[in-house]
Amino acid sequence: MSHEKIKVIIAGAGIAGLTLAIALRRLPYIEVEVFEQATELREIGASIAISPNGLRSLERLGVLNALEEAIGFRNPSGVPMIFRHWETDEIIREEPFVDVPLRRHQTARFHRAQLQSALLEHVPPSIIHVKKRIARAEASDDHVALFFADGTSAVGEVLIGADGIHSNIRKTFFPNHRGFPTGKVWLRSAFPYSTVENIPSLPADSAQWWGPKGAFMASRMGKDLFTTVCNFDLPIDTIKDIQSSQEGSVEVLRQRFQSYSPVVQALAHATPYTRAYPNYAGEPLSTWLLEQRVTIAGDAAHPHGGAFAAGGSLAIDDAYALFLAFEHALGRERTCKPTLVEIQCVLAVYDQTRRPHASKLCTLVLEGLRAQSSITRADDNPIDRVNDKPNATWLS
């Protein structure tokens, strides 16, 4: 059967952009092209935890290789989130799964490059265009267009902004949206598990230690790798000068956590390097239907930064949700090209079914930031902070 296709152009080849490409290519009436500013597709960020919702969406999209035990580490205890006392290592809070009977759907921790490779196995290289920094985007009744810094352009019938938390597409079509640094910075590292496996009392499961100097997280990842991740507060003026993924200082890491338990200190000392990630957040958007033919996905659509380690999984779910919106409104097997009214119907279904879920998280993150800013240093108790942290299992 021959199909008349619409062209969907995707801005950004992160988790959202790649999963969108995988999802939408399943529909025979859609042709996809992805445009990425990086010179090559190489994930340098350290770890990423993908939660049951993200893993289930990947499974439904046929990305079964991402669910393999070898590339994603799952806690042996079966409890995904374990918080420990920062001085004594005692477990102070656990967040068990709710309704996740299958082990392959349990939270898996990946090196980002491994997850990216798993996604790339499902995307033909010919549809990903690197070295294409989007300078400008345009939308009219009959087409959308991206204009790149190298002077070239691309035209399509639908545009999806999957260009991350500082999204150009969002800024173009939703200029009044407000994003801001949260005052937190993250330091992350990835290295072989053999570097730390002999540390006495190293927990077998991933763990987080929240204390007065910040939160420290450590976990095994797939492929016998290990990650240390910490976050702490810095003055906003300092944070504004930090570029995402710039080299951080292991000395800062070691000094900052020197009053924590011997396990944390040993992990900080074993960490060979760090990269810094300033954290940003923003208000939930009032619509994801930015223009008649333009929508957004991933961090571009729900800018909540690293909070709840949820953004990657939600980006995957966004892609699956948009696929379902197309399938719901236009079916799977369709031979004629969708009209503008039909495209708008698809994007409206996506907006109305998906945005409230993601907005709930953005709102929760903003409430948490406001509550935190009202706590004085003298009143701050890290144990209370762990116990008062909202349970986010609804996300899965």
- Which residues, 262 to 281, sit near ligand FAD by CB under 6 A? 277, 279
Listed ranges 13-21, 65-73, 174-182, 381-389: which one lies at the site for ligand FAD (CB under 6 A): 13-21
Does residue 310 touch ligand FAD according to CB under 6 A? yes
Listed ranges 9-17, 250-258, 261-269, 288-296: which one lies at the site for ligand FAD (CB under 6 A): 9-17
Q: Is 58 or 330 the residue whose CB approaches ligand FAD more closely?
A: 58
User: How near is the Cβ of 108 to ligand FAD at its closest, in Å?
Assistant: 10
Does residue 131 touch ligand FAD according to CB under 6 A? no
Determine which residue in the list 23, 190, 270, 309 makes contact with ligand FAD, applying CB under 6 A. 309
| C-alpha–C-alpha distance, residues 173 and 189, integer Å | 36
Does residue 369 touch ligand FAD according to CB under 6 A? no
Listed ranges 22-30, 204-212, 298-306, 352-360: which one lies at the site for ligand FAD (CB under 6 A): 298-306
Terminal CA-CA length for the chain: 38
Report in angstroms the alpha-carbon separations of 267 from 123, 140, 189, 195, 345.
Answer: 37, 54, 11, 9, 52
Report in angstroms the alpha-carbon separations of 385 from 83, 107, 156, 186.
Answer: 11, 23, 48, 18
Of the candidates 180, 299, 165, 166, the one whose C-alpha atom is nearest the C-alpha of residue 236 is 180
Does residue 306 touch ligand FAD according to CB under 6 A? yes
- Which residues, 29 to 58, sit near ligand FAD by CB under 6 A? 35-38, 48-50
Cβ contact 244:277 at 8 Å: yes
Count H helices, E strands: the chain?
10, 18
* Structure token pair of residue 130: 């690197």
User: How near is the Cβ of 119 to ligand FAD at its closest, in Å?
Assistant: 10
Q: Is 38 or 345 the residue whose CB approaches ligand FAD more closely?
A: 38
Listed ranges 67-75, 158-166, 202-210, 328-336: which one lies at the site for ligand FAD (CB under 6 A): 158-166
Of the candidates 100, 63, 57, 66, the one whose C-alpha atom is nearest the C-alpha of residue 80 is 100
Bridge partners, residue 217, by sequence: 208, 229
| C-alpha–C-alpha distance, residues 330 and 324, integer Å | 10
| C-alpha–C-alpha distance, residues 38 and 169, integer Å | 17
Q: Is 57 or 261 the residue whose CB approaches ligand FAD more closely?
A: 57
User: How near is the Cβ of 4 to ligand FAD at its closest, in Å?
Assistant: 28
* Structure token pair of residue 204: 């077998």
| C-alpha–C-alpha distance, residues 303 and 142, integer Å | 29
Does residue 15 touch ligand FAD according to CB under 6 A? yes
Determine which residue in the list 162, 207, 239, 343 makes contact with ligand FAD, applying CB under 6 A. 162
Q: Is 299 or 351 the residue whose CB approaches ligand FAD more closely?
A: 299
| C-alpha–C-alpha distance, residues 144 and 165, integer Å | 21
Residue ranges that bind ligand FAD, judged by CB under 6 A = 11-17, 35-38, 48-50, 132-134, 162-164, 168, 186, 188, 277, 279, 298-300, 305-306, 309-313, 315
